[in-house]
């Protein structure tokens, strides 16, 4: 198996369907994105050609490098009450609830400027540590509760390919026409995706979720996942 084949992304089984932006004129909706871009360098060697085990190196030809590009998209909906001009306590007291949808997307990919993971016979068969596990967590404060988290498990497995499905839908009772009319917005996010030689694991509680992507084979792969989370809370928070 070649490295180029090993990092080829697996195609989703169906195209993504996303309806998360209400029509123009609906009040109480905000969205934003958080990004985390980083370069990861691994200077610790599993073993070296001179027989030394577990050593650090400053040799650029031996340093592993990875590019992390991670984004979380937030969609917040103030529901039940016209939220304009209200404090958090007034909004809560009137029966208002804020729903926040958070969608993670991104990749962790071996950088082309880093050392190869494996060197051939003329280079002494030098071995390396590599990234085989990535964990991300998202937890809200006490004013918000985790309503749902998807995907919850593997839908199917074919050889080393693990397939997942997200089918989220939530009716948001909002307002349009300058707050004079009630409007039901049906937020929807639906997609299938697959991970080749990686498997997604999640552990959730009432405030959020920790999830990891675990390496299940020999070659390093692209990590690309799309967990979706829905929170509700009494406080509008910074996005609304």
Q: What are the pLDDT digits (tens) for 50-66?
A: 777 778 889 888 888 88
Q: Please check whether residue 171 lies inside any domain of the structure.
A: yes
Q: Please check whether residue 126 lies inside any domain of the structure.
A: yes
Q: Is 52 exposed, middle or buried (0-12, 13-18, 19+ CB in 10 A)?
A: exposed
Q: What are the pLDDT digits (tens) for 181-233?
A: 999 999 999 988 888 888 887 777 767 777 777 777 654 444 444 556 665 65
pTM of structure: 0.74
Q: Which residue has the higher pLDDT, 198 or 157?
A: 157
Q: For residues 44 and 66, what is the distance between their CA atoms, to the nearest angstrom?
A: 14
Q: Is the pLDDT of residue 145 over 60?
A: yes
Q: Please check whether residue 168 lies inside any domain of the structure.
A: yes
Domain assignment of residue 127, given as a range: 24-233
Q: Please check whether residue 4 lies inside any domain of the structure.
A: no
What's the per-residue H, E or C state across 28-95?
CEEEEEEEEEEEEEECEEEECCCCCEEEECCCCCCCEEEEEEEEEEEEEEEECCCCCCCCHHHHHHCC
CB 218 within 8 A of CB 225: no
Q: Is the pLDDT of residue 69 over 80?
A: yes
Q: What are the pLDDT digits (tens) for 71-109?
A: 889 999 999 999 999 999 999 999 999 999 988 888 878
Q: Is the pLDDT of residue 130 over 80?
A: no
Q: Please check whether residue 95 lies inside any domain of the structure.
A: yes
Q: The sheet that has 64-79: what strands, in order across it?
A: 29-42, 64-79, 97-110, 228-233, 144-150
Q: 15: which residues sit within 8 A by CB, 6+ positions away?
A: 191
- What pLDDT is recorded for position 74? 92
Q: Please check whether residue 240 lies inside any domain of the structure.
A: no
Q: Which residue has the higher pLDDT, 70 or 120?
A: 70
Q: Please check whether residue 19 lies inside any domain of the structure.
A: no
Q: Please check whether residue 212 lies inside any domain of the structure.
A: yes
Q: Is the pLDDT of residue 176 over 90?
A: yes
Domain count, the chain: 1
């Amino acid at each position: 198996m070649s490295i180029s084949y090993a990092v080829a992304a697996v195609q989703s089984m169906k195209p993504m369907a996303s309806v998360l932006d209400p029509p123009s004129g609906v009040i109480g909706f905000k969205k934003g994105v958080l990004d985390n871009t980083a370069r990861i360098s691994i200077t610790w060697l599993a073993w070296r050609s001179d027989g030394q085990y577990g050593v650090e190196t400053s040799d650029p030809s031996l340093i592993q490098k990875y590019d992390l590009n991670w984004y979380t998209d937030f969609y917040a909906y103030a529901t039940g009450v016209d939220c304009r001009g209200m404090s958090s306590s007034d909004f809560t007291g009137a029966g208002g609830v804020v729903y926040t949808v958070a969608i993670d997307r991104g990749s962790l990919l071996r950088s082309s400027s880093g050392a190869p993971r494996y060197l051939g016979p003329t280079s002494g068969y030098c071995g390396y540590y590599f990234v085989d596990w990535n964990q991300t967590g998202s937890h809200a404060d006490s004013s918000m509760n985790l309503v749902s988290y998807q995907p919850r498990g593997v839908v199917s497995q074919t050889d080393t390919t693990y397939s997942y499905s997200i089918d989220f839908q939530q009716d948001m009772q909002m307002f349009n026409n300058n707050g004079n009319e009630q409007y039901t917005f049906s937020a929807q996010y639906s997609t299938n995706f697959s991970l080749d030689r990686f498997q997604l694991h999640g552990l959730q509680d009432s405030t959020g979720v920790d999830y990891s992507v675990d390496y299940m084979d020999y070659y390093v792969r692209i990590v690309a996942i799309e967990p979706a989370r829905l929170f509700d809370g009494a406080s509008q928070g910074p996005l609304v």
